[in-house]
Amino acid sequence: MTTTLILEQFLNGLQSGIMLFLMAAGLTLIFGVMGLINLAHGSLYMVGAFCAATAAAATGSFALGLVAALAGAAAAGALIELVVIRRLYDRDHLDQVLATFALILIFSEGTRWVFGSFPLYLDVPEALSGPVTLPGGIQYPLYRLTLILAGLAVAVGLFWLIARTRIGVQIRAGENDREMIAALGVDIDRLYTFIFALGAALAGLAGALVGAIQSVQVGMGEPVLILAFVTIVIGGIGSIKGALVGALLVGLTDTLGSVFLPELFKLFMAPAAATQTGASLSSMAIYILMAVVLIWRPTGLFGARA
């Protein structure tokens, strides 16, 4: 196996990690500030992808598709926050899990009702399609490179929002002491709706960006949802930094595991059996990673509270 291939696989792991971060950031923010487990976060990812596909098909512009994804997912997020989610903040996790599980059912079948059972079309924009040659001779798709940069830009923006702005101060205060910031005259209801819509918009953005190179179909959000949960649990729930580290860990483990585990087994097994055993183990790899992290640090890498 050549160095170029190893480097390319590293980039692939990085790219899937960065996209996972967009999902995980919203999830962890919502948990950190409002104490809410939102299983329906994957549905917002799906909403983003469907909005993007519909808008891009109607206008022919991928950029407008992205705008539609952001707007559509934020609107859907704000709507469910106002109607359902806000009644769940002071409930226990059990009720939250159940109510948001119900939302998944409603969103999935609702989307199928509106858009039908067939997958939608969404493609990489012309300007970003095809591969570029990186230093070292690596042929890498330009679109994936763009995803890495876009994801990093969003991450920087998010850190800036939280560390430097007035909203960020309120968010951090909200994580620590809810009554106090309410007493200080912050409209806590509006803050919560805003944060939820922000998280939803990030998920929708991820759905649209990834939807261009994957299949836009009902149920696309659930595998990502589970990965995002694994991510924030590894990183420590509530921590944006933890979400970033966790996302990169999960992305790299998943990608590199699927490439290198079969190779590893080939050292001492017949090739066909090694491929299969390696593939089986690699599909369990991230869950093993998560279990190990939690056994070692029961509140994740950067988690403060249980």
Partner 1 sequence: MSLKTLTTGGLLCAALALPAAAEVKVGMITTLSGGGASLGIDTRDGFMLAIEQSGRTDLEVVIEDDQRKPDVAVQLADKMIQSEKVDLLTGIVWSNLAMAVVPSATAQGKFYLSTNAAPAQLAGRGCNARYFSVSYQNDNLHEGAGAYATQAGFKNTFILAPNYPAGQDSLTGFKRFYEGDLAGEVYTKLGQTDYAAEIAQIRASGADSVFFFLPGGMGISFLKQYADSGVDLPLVGPAFSFDQGILQAVGDAALGVKNSSTWSKDLDNAANATFVEAFEAKYDRLPSIYAAQGYDTANLMLSALDKAEISDEAGFGAALKAAEFDSVRGEFSFAANNHPIQNVYVREVIKEGDIFTNKIVATAMEDRANAYVDDCKM
Partner 2 sequence: MTRETLFNLAVLAGLVALPLYAHLADEPFTITLATRAVILSLAAVGLNMALGIGGLVSLGHAVFFGIGGYAMGILAFHAQNYMPLMETPFLIEGTKSMPLIWLAAVVASALAALVIGLLSLRTSGVYFIMITLAFGQMFYYFAISWSAYGGEDGMSIYVRNGFPGLNTLVPIQFYGLCLAALVLALGFNGALARSRFGLALNAARQVPERVRAVGLDPFRLRLVAFTISGAITGLAGALFADLNRFVSPTMFSWQLSGEFIVFIIIGGTARLFGPVVGACLFVVLEHYIGGWSDYWHIWFGLLLLGIVLFGRGGVIGLIAGKARAHG
Q: In sequence order, what are the residues at sequence separation of 6 or more whose Cβ sits closer than 8 angstroms to the Cβ of residue 207?
A: 44, 45, 46, 47, 48, 49, 52, 69, 73, 220, 221
Count the Cβ atoms, other than its own, within 10 Å of residue 288: 12
- Structure tokens, 146: 């763009």
Find tokens 């952001």 and name the residue.
Answer: 70
Using the rule CB under 8 A, which residue among 9, 110, 152, 182 binds partner 1?
9
Binding-site residue total for partner 1 (CB under 8 A)? 52
When the beta carbons of 176 and 280 are compared against partner 1, the nearer one is 280
Using the rule CB under 8 A, which residue among 67, 84, 110, 112 binds partner 1?
112
Q: What angle do CA 248, 230, 262 make, to 5 degrees?
A: 65
Using the rule CB under 8 A, which residue among 61, 87, 106, 131 binds partner 1?
131
Asked if 175 touches partner 1 (CB under 8 A), the answer is no
d(CA 297, CA 273) in angstroms, rounded, equals 35
When the beta carbons of 89 and 140 are compared against partner 1, the nearer one is 140
Amino acid identity, residue 49?
A: A
When the beta carbons of 165 and 283 are compared against partner 1, the nearer one is 283
Asked if 157 touches partner 1 (CB under 8 A), the answer is no
Task: Choose the one of partner 2, partner 1, none that binds residue 123, judging by a C-beta under 5 to 8 angstroms depending on kind.
Answer: partner 1
d(CA 111, CA 191) in angstroms, rounded, equals 28
d(CA 131, CA 272) in angstroms, rounded, equals 32
Amino acid identity, residue 215?
A: S
Query: What are residue 130's phi and psi, to 5 degrees?
Result: 85, 170
Task: Choose the one of partner 2, partner 1, none that binds residue 9, judging by a C-beta under 5 to 8 angstroms depending on kind.
Answer: partner 1
Interface positions with partner 1 (CB under 8 A): 1-2, 4-5, 8-9, 12-13, 15-16, 108-109, 112, 116-121, 123-124, 129-131, 139, 141, 143-144, 210, 212-220, 223, 255-256, 258-259, 262, 271-272, 275-276, 279-280, 282-283
